[in-house]
Structure formats: C-alpha cells, structure tokens
Amino acid sequence: MSRTPRPGKPDRSESDRAGQARHVPVMLPEVLAALALDRPGLAVDGTFGAGGYTRGLLDAQPEVQVVAIDRDPSAIRAGADLVAASEGRLRLVQGRFGDLDALLADLGEAQADWVVLDIGVSSMQLDEAQRGFSFRQDGPLDMRMGGDGPSAADLVNESDETTLADILYHFGEERRSRAVARAIVEARRRAPIATTAELADLVAGVVRPEPGSPIHPATRSFQGLRIAVNDELGELVRGLHAAERVLRPGGRLAVVTFHSLEDRIVKQFFSARSGRAAQASRHVPGVERLVPKSFKPVTKGPVLPSDSETMVNPRARSAKLRAAERTEAAAPDPLTAIETLASLPAAQGRGTRR
Ligand SMILES: C[S@@+](CC[C@H](N)C(=O)[O-])C[C@H]1O[C@@H](n2cnc3c(N)ncnc32)[C@H](O)[C@@H]1O
C-alpha cells in the first residue's frame, strides 16, 4: 500500500532557530490572556525551558505561586537564579508533565488554578551539539530531553526496519520513510550510526530537498526520532489528562503546540471534553456515550501568533495556542481516541500499514 503522508506542516524549528542562544517565549501575551490570572492561586508551568512563561506568570499577579516542571536537568539547574529571585513564589522540579498530578502531590499540592504547556524542544537543547538534536551541528545521536532511557542512536541501531519506517512516517511525516529506514539498516550493518552528521548525510542521500525549500531533507526524520525517543505525544496525552485531574473548577489549561500531530491531540481532547464530540464507550465497542463536560473552551479555535511576532521570532510561525476552562464535572475516564493518535500502529495492535 502506498503511503500518503498525513496532512501537516514540517517542523521548521531547527532552521528557524539556528544561531539563537536563548529561548524566546512564544505567544506569551496570548498565553497569559488565555489563562486570565486575575486572582491569587497556583499556576503550573509544565515546560519550564528557559523560564519565559514562568517569568510571565510570576509577573502577571504578585499573589500567584508557581510550580515549574522540566524533564531536562540542565533546564532545572539554569533556573536556580529565578527560584532564588522569586522570594519563595517559585518551586522548580525535575520531572515529566505527564506525571504532573503526582509531582504536585509530592509538593503537598492537590489542585492548581492554571496549567500551561509549551510543547517541544527549547533553543538551548537544539543549540547544544552534544545533546544530539541538531542535524546542523555534529554531535552524538542522543536527543534525550531528560538524559534517561534509550537514545536516538539506540533506536536507529536496534529497531527493526518496519518500526523505524513507522517512526519516521507517523512521527516525522516523512513520505520516504521506508527508503530511509532501508538505508539506515544497510548502513548499520557496516558500523553503528553514532552521530547526527552521519544520520543527516544518510537521510540526505535518500530524500531529495524540495526545490526552493529551506527545509533540510533530514528535518522530518529527526523530528520523528525525537518524538519517539522522548515519547512526546504520549507525554502530551498524559499531560492533558493530568491537568484535567488537578485543575480546580474555573481553572484554565493553555497549550501551545508546534506541529499538526500535537495540535490534533489537543484539539480532539478539548473538543471531546467540552461536549462537542461524543466519546466511544470503553465497555461497549462501537457505541458512543455522552461524557460530562469537564472543560469549556476559552479560545474559539486555535490562536495564532501575530505577524509582528513571527517577524522577530520565525519559530513562532507554526505555533498554535488552545485553551479551555475546567468545569465542576469530575474528570472522566482517559480518552482512548487520543491515546491512539500518540502511538505507532504496532502499539495499537493493528500491525503496520504495509
Ligand atoms: C519549548 S520549551 C519551553 C520554553 C518555555 N516556555 C520558555 O518560555 O522558556 C519546552 C521545554 O519543555 C521540556 N519538556 C518537553 N517535554 C516535557 C515533558 N514531558 N515534561 C517536562 N518537560 C518537558 C523540554 O525539556 C524543554 O525545556
């Protein structure tokens, strides 16, 4: 069967961000407006990064306390000065936002008033060659945000060809996924693929650059591997559900995404939870049942960055913000439909599409 790529924009972030030393927060005024920090309360920044959103949260309301989370230990270390300057208003913890409710419980907090997630990698992660995210600078093929678990080199050298092709196709939206996977398997028979430059050259030997496009042929393959290494879509699904569990009635969740795979998950989650889509019953397959509305939309459709922002920060070009407000309804069962969007066909028990 031929592979038709899912509609979606390529992740332009790497070329856009080349040369930037510091992460510029994307759509910060729009995020703060969507959250509406108009009272004392607890805000959770699930993706601390360089602390751009956390600073915005602290500045927005003097009586807001912030818990900021990042899975990257270097982001946590770099945030120490901000914690010190916050006069006890900021607690910074290493962990995954998918475990947000457990991380809050460890701090003695059962509920939150605002949660914000800014999905993806930071400029610092991309710019540091040793982290192995970049095809523009040579470095070890790593890509682990948290430094734990299998690296991109482990996936590339140990996954079977079908799994590799599925990762590149589903998470990277690479049309030539099977050809790239085949080239990887052939190359690693000679010697393991150890660096970003080796992989980028190998992909560039198979995928032609699109005429006139500034996008490097390896962009999609690197995106696919990065998403797989960090289970980014699974984390997003768990993060949305965890936020739903911790938010108080009237609390708000804002999520900024950078490509269509992520945005589709957020859109479907909010749509299902705000009653605009019925949820399939877990108990009676094929039957839909009404679920209580646990969120009501705050934004009508996605909010996009202004032209003036994209002029000064091209990375913002592909950003989309969605936000919703928590209702009184108890959190329903996890939404299985979006779990499916976050996993490869083999993990869904359906085998591969070939
Ligand atoms: C796009 S940056 C956030 C930038 C931040 N909003 C700012 O203004 O500086 C994303 C950050 O989220 C972190 N991250 C990605 N996935 C995560 C997860 N599942 N749990 C916790 N942190 C995560 C990354 O390590 C990275 O530092």
Could you please report the per-residue DSSP string of 239-275?
HHHHHHHHEEEEEEEEEEESSHHHHHHHHHHHHHHTT
Question: Cβ–Cβ contacts within 10 Å for residue 25, how many?
Answer: 19
Cβ contact 315:16 at 8 Å? yes
Rounded CA-CA distance 110/145 in Å is 27
Which of 255, 265, 270 is CA-nearest to residue 326?
270
217 lines ligand 1 (CB under 6 A): no
Looking from the CA of residue 70, the nearest atom of ligand 1 is: 22
Query: Domains plus CATH for the chain?
Result: 17-123+232-348 (3.40.50.150), 132-229 (1.10.150.170)
Residues 56-83 pLDDT 10s: 999 999 999 999 999 999 999 999 999 9
51 lines ligand 1 (CB under 6 A): yes
pLDDT of residue 276: 65
118 labelled binding-site residue:
yes
pLDDT of residue 13: 40
What does DSSP say about strands 247-257 and 320-326: parallel, antiparallel, or unpaired?
Answer: antiparallel
The radius of gyration computed from the CA coordinates of the chain, to the nearest angstrom, equals 20
Which DSSP state fits 314? Answer: G
pLDDT of residue 292: 84
Q: What is the CA 88 to chain-centroid distance, rounded?
A: 29
| Averaged pLDDT score across all residues of the chain | 90
Residues 97-125 pLDDT 10s: 999 999 999 999 999 999 999 999 999 99
Partnered with residue 65 across adjacent β-strands are 42
Low-confidence ranges of the chain (pLDDT < 50): 1-20, 350-354
pLDDT of residue 6: 36
pLDDT of residue 23: 81
pLDDT of residue 267: 96
pLDDT of residue 287: 60
pLDDT of residue 114: 98
53 labelled binding-site residue:
yes
173 lines ligand 1 (CB under 6 A): no
pLDDT of residue 278: 59
52 labelled binding-site residue:
yes
Place of tokens 């040369």: 19
Q: Choose one of 103, 122, 241, 321 to mutate for the ligand 1 pocket test, by most ligand atoms within 8 angstroms of C-beta.
A: 122
Kindly report the protein residue whose alpha carbon is nearest to atom 22 of ligand 1: 70
Q: pTM for this structure? A: 0.90
52 lines ligand 1 (CB under 6 A): yes
The 10 Å CB-count burial string (b at 16+, else e) for 287-298 is eeeebebbbeeb
49 lines ligand 1 (CB under 6 A): yes
122 lines ligand 1 (CB under 6 A): yes
269 labelled binding-site residue:
no
11 lines ligand 1 (CB under 6 A): no
226 lines ligand 1 (CB under 6 A): no
pLDDT of residue 20: 39
Tokens matching residue 106: 């460890």
Q: Choose one of 47, 121, 133, 259 to mutate for the ligand 1 pocket test, by most ligand atoms within 8 angstroms of C-beta.
A: 47
